[in-house]
Structure 1
Amino acid sequence: MGKVQKQKEQNVLSIIERKTGRLIHEEEYGQRAIYFLYHHFLGRLLLKMIFARSYFSFLRGLYYNSFLSKKEIAPFVEKYGLSKELLKKNYQSFGAFFSRKEAVNLREAGKENTKENGEAWKEKLREKGQARKQAFYATASGKLLAYKIDQEGKIIFPCNENNGKSKPFPLEIKGNFYSIEKILKAPCPEFLKGGTLLVFRLSLPDYHRYIFPAKGKLLRTKKIKGRLDSVRKEAAHFKAFSENKREISLLELEGMGKILHVEVGAMLVGHIHNHSANQFPFRFAAGEEKGYFSLGGSTIVEMLSDKIMIDEDLFENTNKGLETKLEIGERIGYGKA
């Protein structure tokens, strides 16, 4: 059996859909090509010389933002089983389709993204008393991994609380231990120690706009120049978080303290578009759109303080080697009250 086939079989059981509990398989666009680029000598050479360069993403973007690319929309919708309603809209290019804006409703965990579910959740919060628990929402649609951050700033798998013998162990991939310091290119801030790290992996069919996860204010931002490697699993995507182009935002959430929100650029993603003006502090509401990505798969990393409690099922799935498929705007945790 070939390596590519083995990789495909491994991916079949690597994602769990949160709202149904089903194990699912999502076919990645260009999966064979990505595997070649990262696992063969010639592929790695082409990657270094051409495909990971910003000019390649720029040139590719010229086509996908032109009217010539409109013909790509219908096959894409069909291939990934997206809503046929999208075909009724007159997008001027595939790029416009990709970065389209849709309604986002804040709602309880696992609920469909509908206004009705959002209104029902608001009523539920009023009944429980919003002041007691501030909901923390998924900033994007995609596949989620959830880790703990230890007191030294290392990223770790949380121990099983039901088994007193188990201990947390660090995230290690191909001999590399991953830490907050590598992602930020700076020491881990004290407010993150003992907190949580969330990784939202957005593949091509996912909605590529993202929101603020709770009410608060944007204190400052920082841009880090870097490469444009793939963020897919077969490309050792954790390495990309410490080497790729990225934008870091320091947010202070009401009742939850400070968090760091990081957008990571990826191969074939030329731009990260954030709406917030350079006027700090910038105040925002829960669910307000923060920005969007142009073309390609992308990733968002959020680093949270210990004042935010993330739902246990997300940690459990990560410990099992499963990414959790969820949708933008669904509740994934609470602020400690």
Structure 2
Amino acid sequence: MPMEIPAGSAGAGETLNPSSEKIVLYNRRTGVLEEESVAGRAWMDFFYGTAVGRRITALLLCRPWLSRLYGAWQQHPASRGRIVPFARQFGVALQEARIPTGGFASFNDFFIRHLQAGARPVAADPRALIAPADSRLQVFDLTADTRLQVKGSAVTVPALLGRPGLPQGFEGGCCLVFRLAPCDYHRFGFVDDGLQGPIHNVPGLLHSVNPLSLKHKPDVHCTNQRQWCFLEGRALGTMIQVEVGAMLVGSIVQHQPAGGPCRRGGEKGYFQFGGSTVILVLPPGRVVIDAAIRHHSAKGIETLVRYGERIGEAVLAQ
């Protein structure tokens, strides 16, 4: 169970996570701050927190071939034994999952699980901006130099997309970073009805996207493998959605690599084994983000959100 931290423990303007080894999250359901339980914490501290570990990571662990090999192991029937201990340790609600007859075939089968109907209801109000994934959300404004401070990393949207310059129409908008932990439901969706453009693939390595690793590898989001596309939304206008792969993620699976129609709350794709990130870039003046999310984002604190739930509201065109 996550440890509760008094909500008043961070002073105005204080950023908890970058100055601490703890990962602090805001839970909107309970109204309190929690410390995140990190899968493989001891290994993370070694491979990103020591000189020897970082050398091993650079030479071996972040290589895509190793993630493919590890992903193949997670698809082997022998990996099934990890499911129950993992779910128990990280509080995965197995009762929400659609468990096949005979159980999950492998750990990866559990990792990319479907949920029972109604387990992730989509906010009914069509003006509500919804979360595209179960995740930890932090919001940033796109300033003149377009640099985003993500857990100590200096990320630019052009570098994220692997292209020069910020696409026209996004200056002054906002960027929503949804970080998925290994214990999360790893399917991600669309936030608006409309049209999805073709997927652009930007090759890269596969570092962890956990805040503990970002302290030592601050350009992770711009060096990891990522895929992105334009979305033409009915309510939100032109958006950019980016999926970032991470260490030991077997692959990013896109349902419409060539593009096609999209439906608000509909599934866009899924990540295979590992933690990952979804980033949504929105144009200016189209959304108002919930005040509590904004408040905690300004302090460097992510907010726990679920696929389909309200995180803000679309601004209706005049």
Which interval holds the TM-score relative to the shorter structure? 0.7 to 0.9
Structure 2: unaligned runs, 5 residues or longer: 1-15
Are residues 321 and 221 of structure 1, via their aligned partners in 2, closer, same or farther at CA, if it must alter by over 3 Å?
same
- Are 1:184 and 2:194 matched, yes or no? no
Match 2:178 to one of 189, 200, 206: 200
**In 2, distance between residues paired with 1:91 and 1:249?**
32
TM-superposed deviation, 1:207: 0.5
- Are 1:334 and 2:303 matched, yes or no? no
**In 1, distance between residues paired with 2:213 and 2:135?**
17
TM-superposed deviation, 1:82: 2.1
**In 2, distance between residues paired with 1:249 and 1:13?**
30
TM-superposed deviation, 1:221: 2.0
Higher Cα radius of gyration: 1
Deviations 1:293-316 (A, max 9, x none): 000111111111112222222121
Q: Which has the higher helix share?
A: 1
Comparing 24-33 with 293-302, greater Cα deviation is found at 24-33
TM-score (norm 1): 0.81
- 1:165 counterpart residue number: none
- The two structures, once aligned, show a CA RMSD in angstroms of 2.4
Which amino acid in structure 1 is aligned with residue 155 of structure 2? Y
Which amino acid in structure 2 is aligned with residue 320 of structure 1? K
TM-superposed deviation, 1:255: 2.3
Are residues 63 and 193 of structure 1, via their aligned partners in 2, closer, same or farther at CA, if it must alter by over 3 Å?
same
**In 1, distance between residues paired with 2:73 and 2:238?**
40
Comparing 295-304 with 22-31, greater Cα deviation is found at 22-31
- 1:97 counterpart residue number: 110
SS in 1 for 2:300: coil
Match 1:148 to one of 141, 148, 152: 141
SS in 2 for 1:181: helix
Match 1:66 to one of 58, 72, 76: 76
- Aligned positions of 1:1-337 closer than 5 A: 10=20, 12=22, 14-85=24-95, 89=100, 90-103=103-116, 113=119, 122=124, 125=125, 134-155=127-148, 171=149, 177-186=154-163, 187-236=165-214, 239-278=219-258, 280=259, 282-306=260-284, 307-337=286-316
The number of residues matched between the two structures is 294
SS in 2 for 1:206: coil
TM-superposed deviation, 1:270: 2.1
**In 2, distance between residues paired with 1:213 and 1:178?**
23
* Contact 1:153 1:192 survives alignment (8 Å): no
- 2:11 counterpart residue number: none
SS in 2 for 1:190: coil
Deviations 1:118-160 (A, max 9, x none): 6xx53xx4xxxx5xxx2211000011111100244333xxxxx
**In 2, distance between residues paired with 1:295 and 1:50?**
18
TM-superposed deviation, 1:240: 1.2
Are residues 286 and 173 of structure 1, via their aligned partners in 2, closer, same or farther at CA, if it must alter by over 3 Å?
closer
* Contact 1:53 1:228 survives alignment (8 Å): yes
Which amino acid in structure 2 is aligned with residue 249 of structure 1? C
Are residues 69 and 239 of structure 1, via their aligned partners in 2, closer, same or farther at CA, if it must alter by over 3 Å?
same
Structure 1: unaligned runs, 5 residues or longer: 1-5, 106-112, 156-170
Are residues 196 and 18 of structure 1, via their aligned partners in 2, closer, same or farther at CA, if it must alter by over 3 Å?
same
- 2:3 counterpart residue number: none
TM-superposed deviation, 1:103: 4.4
* Contact 1:65 1:93 survives alignment (8 Å): yes
- 2:8 counterpart residue number: none
**In 2, distance between residues paired with 1:248 and 1:114?**
24
SS in 1 for 2:196: strand
Comparing 139-148 with 307-316, greater Cα deviation is found at 307-316
**In 1, distance between residues paired with 2:231 and 2:158?**
18
TM-superposed deviation, 1:227: 0.5
Deviations 1:63-112 (A, max 9, x none): 1101111111111111112224359651010010000111475xxxxxxx
**In 2, distance between residues paired with 1:172 and 1:255?**
27
Identity among equivalent pairs (%)? 29
**In 2, distance between residues paired with 1:42 and 1:11?**
19
SS in 1 for 2:42: helix
**In 2, distance between residues paired with 1:97 and 1:224?**
28
Which amino acid in structure 2 is aligned with residue 305 of structure 1? P
TM-superposed deviation, 1:275: 0.3
